[in-house]
Structure 1
C-alpha cells in the first residue's frame, strides 16, 4: 500500500488538538483516553556504584538515554545483576513496555520513545509504561511519537538546567484509541511504510556524506594545486619546534611558508563580566566559536560585548580576514572561514584567531580551505587538551605550514575550486530535499494513522470503548485491593561476619 496523503501544515506534528470535537466525530469504533490510563507506569533508578556486585556478571539490561535511537533501541550496553532488584531503587519492567526519555538535553528537540520486547530496568532519566491488556505496545509507542510536538510544547518543564518532562502532564496527554484489532493493523502498515522511508533516508544521508567528503577533497587538493594531474616535487620548509607531520609535495613554482610569515595573526577579546558596566566602554558585536564553522560563518545569532574603544578598533574585522578557532572541542581547532564584512564593527572573542594576509601573499579563501583540510590534522597533533577544552596557542598557530601558489594563478585557482564546489552543493541540496520530504512523509503517515485514515475500520472489531471500560474497571478494582508486599531478601553478609539484621 502506498500513501497518497496531503502534506498540509497541520498534518505533521501530531496536532495541538486531537481531531474530533466529540465522540461522534471520531473514527468508527475509536475512543479517547489519556496515556496514564493505557498502562502501568514505571520509574527508574541507578544501582549503587559502591556495590560492585550489582554491576558484575549482570544479565538484566539497564536502559539509559544514550541507548535510545529515533524509533528503536540503539544498544543496551549496561547489564546489572539481579541482586540489584532487591536492594536498590531499580525496578524490573516487564517485556512489552514502552520506554521514553524524561530528562535529557535531547528533549529540547525530540522525545525518544521505543518499544522494548524484553525485561528491562531503567535509569533515573527514563520512564516506561507497560500497556494494559488490549493495548498493543508497538501501537502505543507510535501513538506517543505522533503526539511528540504536543508533548514538547505542553509537558516540558520550564527554567530547568537540563530539559525534562512533567510526568503527570505527560500521563494526562490524550490520544485517540482504536479497537485492539485495528491497533495491530495500524502498526503493520506504519512499519511497512517506515521501512521504505528509512531506506530513502539512508540513501540521502549516504549522498550527504559523500558530498561532504568530496567537498573536503576538492578544497584540500585544490589549495595545494592538485585538482588536476600535475607534476609534484618536495618544496623546502624551514623546521620549527612543532609536529608538522608529513609535508605534501607541491607543483613547480609553489612554496611552503609559515602562517605567521604570510598573515598577521592575533587573538580576540576576553569578556570581563565585572567591567561590562564601565561608562566609557562601547558595545560591539563579536564572534564566538559557535559562529565560526568549517568553511562557513553562521551569523544568525551574533551576540554583543562591551569593550574599551581602543580594543574595539584594534580588533575590528575587515573583509578578507580569516577566522580560525583557537579552542573548543578538539575537532574544532583551526576550523574557520573568511570574513566578508557581514556585520558592521564586529570583533572576535579570545577563542577565535584572526589572520589578516600581509601584502596579498595568498588569497584568503585558499588559506581558509587549507586550514580546514591540512590544518585540521595539524592542529589536532599540536593542540593541548584540558578536562573539558582543547586549544592551540597563538605561538603554535603562527607555525601552521601554508602552501603558497604563484600570485598570477591564485584568482583562477579559487574560481576553479568554487566551480567544483557548486556541483557538490547541488548534490547536497538534492539530498537535503529528499530528507525534508521524508520528514514530511513520516509526519503525514503518523497523522493518517492516528486519525483513522491509514487503514479501514472493521465494524466487526470490538469498539475501543468496551476495551477502555474493562481497563478502567480493572484499575478501580486494583486500587481497592491492598497490594501484598514482597518481603525483602536479607543482604549477604560481608566475608567473616554473620548475617546483617534487616
Structure 2
C-alpha cells in the first residue's frame, strides 16, 4: 500500500501523481466595487467562499459583467473545473471543494483546477473532499490571521489516478450511494420537525395534567397542589423572617397570579406565581465580559438552552466584580432572559440543577429567581418554562422600546405556574421523560456524515469500481 499523506491506496492499481500536474490552475480576483459597470446587471457568476456550501456550482450570490472580466483580475473558469477554497475562516475545520457545471469567475480566496482530459473532475473533487482533513493538516499555512492553504504544498499533494473509465465508475457509484444518503437525510429532517412538534405536545400534556389523567382517576392524592403551595408560602415567610437583615422590615406577601385570566386546572392542582415559588429575585451585572476577562465567570443568553444552564462558551467579566457569596448562582436558581433585540429570545430560561465548580455570576439582561424546594420541584419548573403554556405568558406580556424587547421583573413575578400535588408532579415528569423519543436526529445526521467518509474511503481503496 502506498501512503498518500495519510490516504492509503493499492500501489499496483492506482499510480499517484501530484495534484498540480493534473490540469491547469487559475486564480481569482475581485473587480473594483467602485466601478458600477463591473457589477450592475451582471450575468457571470462570481464565486466566493460563501458559495462553496454545495458540491456543484451552478451559480453564485454575486454576478459580474463582461466588462469586469475584460478589465479586472477575475478570469473565466470553464465548466467542469474543480474549485478549492484557499483562504477563509472555514479552513479551520473544513476544506470546501466543488465542481462547476457552468462557466464562472472566482475571487482571490479560491483556486480553480481545470483537469486534463484523462482526469474526471467529479473523481478529483470526491478525492479532495475525502482527503480534506489531511490536506488541512499538511498544507495549511501557519502564523496567518485567516486560515489559509499553501498553494505550493497543495500542488504536491499525491492523488491516485486510475484509468478514466475506472474514475467514472467510481464517481457513478459514489453518486448513487450519496443520493440514497441524501434521501435519508431529507427524511430525517422531516422526522426532526415532527419530533419537535410531538415533544412540545407531550410537554404541554404533562404540565396541564392530561398526561396523568388516568393516574389521577385511579389514585386520588392525599394532598393537593394548594396544600403544597401553603407549605411553600409558610417556608418562604419563615426564611425571610429569620434573616437578620430583615429585622426592622415588614414582610411583603408575594404577588399571586391573576385568576381571571387563567384556564381551569385538574382537580387537586392550583396556580402559583414565580414570586410565590421563589424566595428572592434580582438582576445581574452590566460589567462587560470577554473570553480573556480576569474577573468572575458570567452566565449569558447562550448559556441558557433547553431549560438548563450550560457552561460552554463561558465568558468572564473584564474586572473582578467584588461579589458576596449570595450573588453567585446556586442550585435552584432560575435565570430568564428579560431583554434582547430578538423577541424569540425573551423568556428563554434555564435552571441551575447542581453546584458549579467555580463561583459564577450572571448578566444584567437576565433575571434570577431563587426557587424554593428541591430538585423535583426545580425539574417541574424547568419543564413548565419550556412549555407552550409558559411561552404564551411571555408573548402576552412582552414589551418593546428603542428596538429592544423586554419583560419587567414585576410581570415575570406574576407569571403563573401550574402546581400539581407532589406525587402527581413526579409521575408527570417521569412519564414525560419516558414518552420522549430517544432518537437523536442531530447524532444520526452526524453519523450520515461519517458514512459518507466511509464510502469515499472504500472508493479510494478500489472497492467500488
TM range, smaller chain:
0.7 to 0.9
- Per-residue deviation, residues 315-364 of structure 1 (Å, max 9, x unmatched): 22221111334577834443232211242343233166252245559943
1:106 is paired with a residue whose SS is helix
Tell me how far 1:173 sits from its aligned partner: 2.1
Corresponding residue for residue 466 of structure 1: none
Tell me how far 1:141 sits from its aligned partner: 0.8
Q: Distance in 1 between matches of 2:410 and 2:59?
A: 40
Q: Distance in 1 between matches of 2:430 and 2:59?
A: 42
Tell me how far 1:293 sits from its aligned partner: 1.8
Corresponding residue for residue 177 of structure 1: 161
Between stretches 198-207 and 376-385, larger displacement belongs to 376-385
Between stretches 52-61 and 298-307, larger displacement belongs to 298-307
Q: Distance in 2 between matches of 1:161 and 1:238?
A: 59
Corresponding residue for residue 82 of structure 1: 66
Matched, 1:296 2:308: yes
Corresponding residue for residue 123 of structure 1: 107
Q: In 2 relative to 1, CA 306–103 (structure 1 residues): closer, same or farther, beyond 3 Å?
A: closer
Corresponding residue for residue 436 of structure 2: 424
- Per-residue deviation, residues 344-392 of structure 1 (Å, max 9, x unmatched): 3432331662522455599434444444455668479646687xxxx65
Corresponding residue for residue 213 of structure 1: 197
- Per-residue deviation, residues 104-141 of structure 1 (Å, max 9, x unmatched): 33323222211111101123333222112211111111
Matched, 1:32 2:16: yes
1:165 is paired with a residue whose SS is coil
Contact 1:312-1:347 at 8 Å conserved across structures = no
Corresponding residue for residue 339 of structure 1: 352
Q: In 2 relative to 1, CA 393–438 (structure 1 residues): closer, same or farther, beyond 3 Å?
A: closer
Corresponding residue for residue 6 of structure 2: 17
Contact 1:54-1:81 at 8 Å conserved across structures = yes
Contact 2:340-2:406 at 8 Å conserved across structures = no
1:76 is paired with a residue whose SS is coil
Tell me how far 1:312 sits from its aligned partner: 4.8
Q: Distance in 2 between matches of 1:99 and 1:73?
A: 9
Corresponding residue for residue 186 of structure 2: 202
Corresponding residue for residue 453 of structure 1: 463
- Per-residue deviation, residues 232-265 of structure 1 (Å, max 9, x unmatched): xxx97499xxxxxxx77453665475x5665443
> Runs (4+) of structure 1 moved beyond 6 Å?
none
Between stretches 356-365 and 310-319, larger displacement belongs to 356-365
Q: In 2 relative to 1, CA 329–136 (structure 1 residues): closer, same or farther, beyond 3 Å?
A: farther
Corresponding residue for residue 265 of structure 1: 281
Q: Distance in 2 between matches of 1:175 and 1:435?
A: 29
The one of 454, 459, 465 aligned to 1:444: 454
- Higher RCO, Cα 8 Å, sep 6+: 1
Please, what is the CA RMSD of the aligned residues?
3.9
1:251 is paired with a residue whose SS is coil
Contact 1:95-1:119 at 8 Å conserved across structures = yes
Corresponding residue for residue 43 of structure 2: 59
Q: Distance in 1 between matches of 2:323 and 2:134?
A: 48
Corresponding residue for residue 366 of structure 2: 353
Between stretches 197-206 and 415-424, larger displacement belongs to 415-424
